[in-house]
Amino acid sequence: MTAKDMSYQGVMGRSDEIVLNAVGIDYDKYELEGVAFDYKKLMADVNYSIEDVCKILNDMEVGNTPLIELKNITKLAAKIGGPGKGARIYVKDEASQPSGSYKARRAALAVYEAKRLGYKGVIAATSGNFGAAVACMAAKLGLKCIIVQECYDSRMVGQPEILEKQRACEALGAEVVQLTVGPELFYEHLRLLEKTGFYNASLYVPQAVTGVETLGWEIAHQCRERFGKDPEYVLITNAGGGNLTGTARGLKKAGAKDTKIYAASVDLSGLHMASDKDFNRKSFTTGHTGFGIPYATQPDRTDVPRSAARPMRYIDEYLIVTQGEVFYATEMLASLEGLERGPAGNTSLAAAIALASTLPEDNVIVVQETEYTGAGKHPMPQLTFARQNGIKIFFGDPEDEVPGKNIILPSDPTKIKLRYSDMKRLRLSTLKRIATEDREYSDVELQYMADELNRNVDQVKELLAELK
């Protein structure tokens, strides 16, 4: 028997075969004519109703988290906005999940599926929160768990937040494979999947995104019970896109078709995600533009051939906040509302504060998640680590912040600003990735493009004309 080629090129060259064995999904059957891909069928083949998923998660003690009104922060937003302004801000408190974040929902159905299919263990590649969730769910269902995590730069220095997440994964019973930043993450992930025969509990499989649908479903029903209506806006921290995709799909399944879906990411423009030099100059390991923008416009850059996380299908607007604003919002949440949470959900909270001050006071904004905090996630160790890496920290105007060089905390709450990303530019970028050939596209292909961009076919044709 010929030994398998375990080089980087050899393993990556077998990625489709490895993923097929590790997920049990033949992605080829979802390819349609030309560039088109049957995303609807991929998601439908999960074959659980939303009610079924809710029951599965409830049996695993996942979900049913509280919706908390931020009364004092709402008052502050109203004061900033002036008469008649100040939309009511609520947070879905996902920090109360077993693993401390919404990713318990994402992990629960994926691990449940691994158990149902007869796998002996699960593997996930993650920055940490998802790893903790997978480890937690695997422990509940008696499966082995391996987490592959980028922890360090080449000097073996790691961010406090990442190391906190690594600690959580190990505490929950997982074996953690710690890597330095670089291209090894997916290689090591695939190598271990092939070696162990474990299930690929990926962030991007349909089951993971379907698990998150329960979050949108709960938001819709909780708002109807409390206010007699759906929320006008749901703000979602966006990184790889599964959080936003799943929540938006759950809202739509609940019938909340008029609720606006706003993405929010921290501005880390200019910092390369795979750069050893930049690795520890980022104070946010997820929920930032380095993931949020490229994974939105090119979702199939993951550890599966076709990502189930496709946020551009659902985003109405994309808001950008600064690092300083998120740290400020984190402190505001603790000091005004008595909620110590952080940092991912506070990305969308910072955006919500700015947005609320511009909206009528009878509007409802739901900040879609919180996450647990821990020793490495607090603002103080994060800011201390940033200062140790040459980042200047001071109070002033966040508009002057330069990622990787400084973190500017707002000198007062009015300095938290709304910044809209150019949705047309994002749609053109997405379309350019799809429509790589200079030819006429079929009706099936055009409809697929329209679905991917959350536009109609005529609008797609107009955008295609601009690309020429």
Backbone angles phi, psi at 5, to 5 degrees: -75, 110
Beta carbons of 276 and 156 less than 8 angstroms apart:
no
Neighbours of 27 (CB within 10 A): 16
Q: Which long-range contacts (CB under 8 A, 24 or more apart) does 435-444 make?
A: 435/35, 435/464, 435/467, 436/35, 438/468, 441/34, 441/35, 442/33, 442/34, 442/36, 444/32, 444/33, 444/34, 444/36
Supply the pLDDT for residue 23: 86
Instruction: For residue 404, give the 3-state DSSP assignment.
Output: coil
In this predicted structure, the answer to whether residue 46 has a pLDDT above a threshold of 80 is yes
Separation of first and last alpha carbons in the chain: 52
Same fold, 22-51+101-206 and 59-98+209-415: yes
Give residue 31's region: left, alpha or beta (phi > 0; psi -120 to 50): beta
Domain boundaries, the chain: 22-51+101-206, 59-98+209-415, 423-467
Any bridge partners for residue 394, and if so which? 408
Nearest to 368 by CA among 392, 385, 344, 337: 344
What is the mean pLDDT of the segment spanning 214-224?
A: 98
Would you say 297 and 452 are in contact if contact means Cβ atoms under 8 Å apart? no
For strands 260-266 and 317-321, give the pairing. Answer: parallel
Strands 88-92 and 67-69: antiparallel
Question: Average pLDDT for residues 385-396, to the nearest whole number?
Answer: 93
List pLDDT tens digits, range 163-201. Answer: 787 888 888 889 988 877 766 777 888 889 999 999 999
Which pLDDT score, from 0 to 100, does residue 276 have? 66
Task: Give the whole-number percent of the chain exceeding pLDDT 70.
Answer: 97
Beta bridge partners of 264: 237, 319
Cβ burial, residue 118 (10 Å; 0-12/13-18/19+): exposed
CA distance 173 to 121: 12
Q: How far is CA 19 from the centre of its chain?
A: 22
Does pLDDT of 285 surpass 80? Answer: no
pLDDT (0 to 100) of residue 287 = 82
Helix (H, G, I), strand (E, B) or coil at 159: coil
Position 274 pLDDT exceeds 70: no
- pTM (two decimals): 0.94
Strand ranges inside 153-214, DSSP E: 175-180, 199-200
The maximal CA–CA distance of the chain, rounded, in angstroms, is 78
What is the rounded average pLDDT of the residues 232-251? 96
Q: Which two tokens stand for residue 302?
A: 């993951």
Lowest mean pLDDT among 42-51, 126-135, 210-219: 126-135
Write out the two tokens for 212: 């998150």
How many whole angstroms separate alpha carbon 88 and alpha carbon 232? 10
Residue 400 has pLDDT above 70, yes or no: yes
Contact 283, 409 (CB under 8 A): no
| Both tokens assigned to 380 | 């103080």
**Cβ-count burial of 309 within 10 angstroms (0-12 exposed, 13-18 middle, 19+ buried)?**
buried
59-98+209-415 fold: Rossmann fold (3.40.50)
Q: How confident is the model at residue 380 (pLDDT cuts 50, 70, 90)?
A: confident
Amino acid at 259: T
Strand, coil or helix: what is 401?
A: coil
Question: Of 96, 93, 94, 98, whose CA–CA distance to 108 is shortest?
Answer: 98
How far apart (Å, rounded) are the C-alpha atoms in residues 253 and 225?
Answer: 17
* Alpha helix (H) residue ranges in 258-322: 276-279, 289-297
Based on its alpha-carbon atoms, the radius of gyration of the chain, rounded to whole angstroms, reads 21
- Please tell me the distance from the alpha carbon of residue 369 to that of residue 205, in angstroms, as a whole number: 21
Q: Give the mean pLDDT of 87-113.
A: 94
Give the pLDDT of residue 426. 97
- The arrangement of secondary structure in 22-51+101-206, i.e. its CATH architecture, is 3-Layer(aba) Sandwich (3.40)
C-alpha 99/C-alpha 103 separation (Å) is 8
Residue type, 303: D
Structure tokens that stand for 58 in this block: 């409830």
Q: pLDDT-derived band of residue 332, with 50, 70 and 90 as boundaries?
A: very high
Task: Give CA–CA dist 272/38, Å, rounded.
Answer: 32
Residue 265 has pLDDT above 90, yes or no: yes
What CA dihedral angle connects 361, 335, 168 and 154, to 10 degrees?
100
Kindly report, residue by residue over 159-170, the tens digit of the pLDDT. Answer: 777 778 788 888
CB 467 within 8 A of CB 432: yes
